[in-house]
Copies of this chain bind each other. A is one copy, B any other.
């Protein structure tokens, strides 16, 4: 005991930057952190983040469940690693020397595409992802799309965070509405057949005149009650307009 050299559990940052101090004692490692993370991403892409359990992941790697805790301290850290790996693997559409609106639109669309390709990421991604190498490269690249517009450094960060939050939410909503549609086991027609009568009784135009009118118009315009792609397109224009007003001032 005494003042023994306690290994204080690997910090998340060390994991993200792969800066763990290797000692070389004991049996050979059968895996690497990257293999574990890659397998987890594959599993999440195929079956969703809730399918990424320690057991499933270990099975897909041919190891016992507890083995994974050698590579990753816990599930939260695993998700952080998965996210940073995604960010590191983005290939951005080049848009330098284009007008600012195109540059920012490209940033937005790249992020949207990423989240649509990996729907679990939008839900898992916190507002400020941990400072891994992927996140840092992404931050650097995206900030450059905002330079030369007369914004000071703080405003650049604010503007980027604002844009990215919009994209993340839009992608999350899209994925969610898609998942609901897939898992509902009820077609729109069946749903209306089941719930239409009650809704008609309860949504009288006396109490909710505007809601009924607008809701019906919106429902007919998009043929679903909620068209996620349209919401993204609409929101992107508004967001860029809003940032444009800031840039002009």
**What is the CA–CA distance of A239 and B17 in the complex, to the nearest angstrom?**
36
Most chain B CB neighbours (cut-off 10 Å) among A126, A158, A159, A231? A158
Answer yes or no: A202 CB below 8 A from chain B CBs: yes
B173–A14 contact, CB under 8 A?
no
B13–A162 contact, CB under 8 A?
no
CB distance from A154 to the nearest CB of B (A): 4
Most chain B CB neighbours (cut-off 10 Å) among A168, A208, A238? A238
The stretch of A89-97, A100-108, A140-148 in contact with B is A140-148
List 8 A-B pairs, minimum CB-CB distance, nearest first.
A242-B242, A153-B217, A238-B242, A127-B173, A157-B218, A241-B245, A140-B211, A241-B242
Show 9 residue pairs from A and B whose CB-CB distance is below 8 angstroms, ordered by the A residue: A11-B194, A17-B198, A127-B172, A128-B225, A136-B203, A136-B208, A140-B211, A143-B210, A238-B242
Answer yes or no: A207 CB below 8 A from chain B CBs: yes
CB distance from A16 to the nearest CB of B (A): 9
Known contacts A19-B202, A198-B14; is A147 also within 8 Å of B210 by CB? yes
A137–B208 contact, CB under 8 A?
yes
CB distance from A117 to the nearest CB of B (A): 20
Which residue in chain B gives the minimum CB-CB distance to A127?
A: B173
**What is the CA–CA distance of A22 and B221 in the complex, to the nearest angstrom?**
38
Answer yes or no: A131 CB below 8 A from chain B CBs: yes
Answer yes or no: A43 CB below 8 A from chain B CBs: no
Which residue in chain B gives the minimum CB-CB distance to A227?
A: B158
Answer yes or no: A226 CB below 8 A from chain B CBs: yes
Chain B residues whose CB sits within 8 angstroms of the CB of A177 once the complex forms: 127-128
Which residue in chain B gives the minimum CB-CB distance to A8?
A: B194
Which residue in chain B gives the minimum CB-CB distance to A12?
A: B195
Known contacts A128-B225, A139-B215, A169-B169; is A195 also within 8 Å of B11 by CB? yes
Answer yes or no: A1 CB below 8 A from chain B CBs: no
